[in-house]
C-alpha cells in the first residue's frame, strides 16, 4: 500500500514514514472500536441482566457521541491542523476505554462508550479530510479506497477479536487492548516533530458557525448529508444485531458469529482493491446503483435464509455493496466544501453516525418485539431504494454539469 504524502513546502516535507504508520494505526483502532460491542451483546445482556436491545445502547450511545462531537472536531482540524487534532483525539480515547475496563454496570459501560465515541470522533473523518487536502480529486477515490482498507481491517479485527476474547477471556479484555493500541498510536502522532510545522487551514480565522454555514449553503452538501444519514441508519441498524442473530437463532458461538460478520469487511476489501478498475468502467452512478442492489439482495438473503451458512456469502455481499455505495458518497464528501474540508467531512461523518444511532435504537426496539428477519428484510429493501435514488441524483448532477 502506497501512502499519499502531503506536498513538500518550505516549512516541512510532511510527516515521517513512522508517523504515517501511527496515523494508520489510530485509523485502524478507531474503526475497530466502533464495532467491538456488536459481538458482546449476548454476553452483556447475560452479565447485566438486560435484553439484547438494551445492551445495544452501548452501540447507539457511541454513535450519538461520535456524531455530535464532529461539530467540534471538524472546525478544530481546519484551525489547528488535522494530524495534530487526530493525535490528541486518539489519546483522549484512553478515558473511555479505561472506564469500560472497570464498568460495574451497563449504565457505566454506556457512559464509557459515550466518552470513547466523543474522543474517536476526531480521528477517521479528519484522516479523510487530510487525504482530501493532499490528493487531487481525479485520484482521490482510489486513494480513499486504500485508506478504507485500514477501516475495514479495523472493523473486521474488532468484531472477530472481540468475539474471541468475549467468549474465552471476557469482554473487558477488549477495552484493554483498544487502550493500548490507540494510546501508543496517539502518542506517536503527538510527539512527531513535523507537527510543529504543519500549516493551519484556511478556516483558522472563521468561527465554527461560519464554517458550518459555508458547508450547509451548498445544496449538494445538504443532499449528501441526508443520503449518508439514511445509509448509516439502515446498514448499521441491521448489522449491529447480526452476531446476536447468528448466536441466538442458529446456536453459533460468539467467536464463530463474529468471524462470519467479519466477512462484511472481506466484501469491503474486494471494493477497496477493485476501485481503481471499477470507477472508470461503471462510473459513480453505476457504482452507487450496484452497491444498493447488492445490499438489498444480501439483507433479504439473511432475512429469508433458514441455515447459518447463508450468512457466509450474504455477509460478504453486504460488505461489498455497502462500501461500493459508501465509497462514492465518501469521495463526494471530500469535495463538498474544499475551503473548509475538515468541517465538511466531519459534518458528513456526524450525519452518518447520528443516522447509525437512530437506526440501532429503532432496530433494537423492533428486534425485541418482532424478531430479526423483519428488520433485515426492511433494511434490504430500503437500502436498494437508497442506492437507486443516489444514483439518479448523481446522473442528474452530471447532466446539469454538462449543460452548464
Question: What percentage of the chain has pLDDT greater than the value 90?
Answer: 37
Assign 208 a pLDDT band (cuts: 50, 70, 90).
low
Does the residue 134 lie in any domain?
yes
What whole-number distance in Å separates Cα of residue 190 and Cα of residue 289?
A: 41
pLDDT digits (tens, 9 = 90+) for 117-176: 999 999 988 887 777 776 776 676 666 766 777 777 888 788 889 988 998 899 999 999
375, 366 contact by CB (below 8 A): yes
What DSSP state is assigned to residue 340?
Answer: G
Q: What is the per-residue pLDDT for 15?
A: 54
pLDDT in tens, 81-100: 888 899 999 999 999 999 99
* Angle, vertex CA 164, rays to CA 162 and CA 165, nearest 5: 65
Structure confidence at residue 154 (pLDDT): 86
**Residue 203: CB partners within 8 Å, gap ≥ 6?**
75, 78, 79, 211, 339, 340, 342, 343
In a domain, 210, yes or no: yes
Number of domains forming the structure of the chain: 1
> Of the ranges 146-155, 201-210, 220-229, 356-365, which one carries the lowest mean pLDDT score?
201-210
In a domain, 255, yes or no: yes
* 153, three cell numbers: 481491517
24: closest CA among 6, 43, 1?
Answer: 1
Please check the confidence at residue 203 and state whether its pLDDT lies above 70. no
User: Are the CB atoms for 219 and 336 separated by under 8 Å?
Assistant: no
> Over the stretch 5-46, which tens digit does the pLDDT of each residue have?
444 333 344 556 666 778 888 999 999 998 899 889 989 999
Mean pLDDT of the chain: 84
Distances (CA, A) of 197 to 84, 191, 205, 236, 313: 11, 13, 18, 39, 48
Question: Domain with 225 in it: what CATH number?
Answer: 1.20.1250.20
Average pLDDT estimate for 208-231: 86
* 379 vs 350 pLDDT, higher one: 379
Residue 9 lies in a domain: no
Query: Where is pLDDT greater, at 339 or 307?
Result: 307
Residue 12 lies in a domain: no
Question: With bands split at pLDDT 50, 70 and 90, how would you rate the model's confidence at 207?
Answer: low
User: Is there a domain that residue 10 lies in?
Assistant: no
In this structure, the dihedral spanned by the alpha carbons of residues 296, 302, 306 and 307, taken in order and rounded to 10 degrees, is 130
* pLDDT tens-place string over residues 280-337: 788 889 999 999 999 999 999 999 988 888 999 999 999 999 989 998 898 888 788 7
Mean pLDDT of 180-184: 94
Mean pLDDT of the 49-73 span: 86
C-alpha Rg value of the chain to the nearest Å: 20
Asked if residue 275 has pLDDT above 80, the reply is: no
Q: Is the pLDDT of residue 230 over 70?
A: yes
Distance (Å, whole) CA 9 – CA 197 = 10
pLDDT over 60 at 340, yes or no: yes
pLDDT value at residue 254: 75
Model pLDDT, residue 265: 79
Q: Check residue 114 and give its pLDDT.
A: 96
Q: Is residue 226 part of a domain?
A: yes
pLDDT of residue 205 exceeding 50 = no
pLDDT band at 48, cuts 50/70/90? Answer: very high
Could you list the residue range(s) of the whole structural domain that residue 152 is in?
A: 17-403
Residue 91 has which C-alpha cell?
489519546
The rounded distance, in Å, linking the Cα atoms of 129 and 4 is 13
Ranking 158-172, 190-204, 221-235, 306-320 by mean pLDDT, the lowest is 190-204
Establish if 3 belongs to a structural domain.
no
What's the pLDDT at 99?
97
Amino acid at each position: 500500500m502506497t501512502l499519499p504524502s502531503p506536498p513538500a513546502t518550505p516549512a516541512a516535507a510532511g510527516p515521517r514514514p513512522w508517523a504515517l504508520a501511527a496515523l494508520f494505526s489510530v485509523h485502524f483502532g478507531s474503526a475497530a472500536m466502533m464495532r467491538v460491542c456488536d459481538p458482546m451483546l449476548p454476553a452483556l445482556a447475560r452479565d447485566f441482566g438486560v435484553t439484547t436491545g438494551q445492551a445495544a445502547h452501548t452501540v447507539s450511545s457511541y454513535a450519538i457521541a461520535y456524531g455530535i462531537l464532529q461539530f467540534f472536531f471538524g472546525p478544530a482540524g481546519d484551525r489547528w491542523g488535522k494530524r495534530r487534532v487526530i493525535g490528541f483525539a486518539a489519546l483522549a480515547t484512553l478515558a473511555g476505554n479505561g472506564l469500560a475496563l472497570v464498568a460495574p454496570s451497563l449504565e457505566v459501560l454506556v457512559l464509557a462508550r459515550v466518552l470513547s465515541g466523543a474522543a474517536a470522533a476526531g480521528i477517521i473523518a479528519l484522516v479523510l479530510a487530510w487525504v482530501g487536502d493532499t490528493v487531487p480529486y481525479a485520484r482521490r477515490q482510489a486513494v480513499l479506497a486504500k485508506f478504507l482498507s485500514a477501516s475495514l481491517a479495523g472493523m473486521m479485527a474488532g468484531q472477530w477479536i472481540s468475539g474471541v476474547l468475549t467468549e474465552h477471556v471476557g469482554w473487558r479484555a477488549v477495552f484493554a487492548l483498544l487502550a493500548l493500541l490507540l494510546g501508543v498510536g496517539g502518542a506517536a502522532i503527538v510527539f512527531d516533530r513535523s507537527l510543529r510545522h504543519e500549516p493551519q487551514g484556511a478556516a483558522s480565522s472563521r468561527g465554527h458557525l461560519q464554517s458550518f454555514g459555508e458547508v450547509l449553503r451548498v445544496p449538494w452538501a445538504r443532499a449528501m448529508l441526508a443520503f449518508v444519514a439514511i445509509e448509516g441508519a439502515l446498514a448499521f441498524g441491521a448489522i449491529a444485531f447480526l452476531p446476536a442473530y447468528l448466536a441466538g437463532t442458529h446456536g453459533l458461538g460468539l467467536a464463530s458469529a463474529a468471524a462470519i460478520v467479519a466477512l462484511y469487511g472481506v466484501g469491503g476489501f474486494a471494493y477497496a482493491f477493485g476501485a481503481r478498475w471499477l470507477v472508470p468502467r461503471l462510473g459513480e452512478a453505476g457504482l452507487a446503483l450496484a452497491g444498493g442492489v447488492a445490499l438489498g439482495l444480501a439483507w433479504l438473503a439473511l432475512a429469508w435464509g433458514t441455515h447459518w451458512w447463508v450468512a457466509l456469502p450474504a455477509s460478504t455481499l453486504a460488505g461489498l455493496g455497502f462500501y461500493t455505495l459508501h465509497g462514492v458518497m465518501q469521495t463526494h464528501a471530500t469535495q463538498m466544501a474544499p475551503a473548509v474540508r475538515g468541517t465538511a467531512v466531519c459534518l458528513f461523518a456526524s450525519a452518518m453516525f447520528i443516522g447509525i444511532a437512530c437506526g440501532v435504537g429503532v432496530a433494537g426496539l423492533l428486534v425485541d418485539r418482532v424478531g430479526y428477519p423483519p428488520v433485515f428484510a426492511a433494511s434490504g429493501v430500503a437500502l436498494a431504494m437508497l442506492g437507486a435514488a443516489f444514483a439518479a441524483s448523481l446522473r442528474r448532477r452530471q447532466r446539469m454539469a454538462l449543460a452548464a
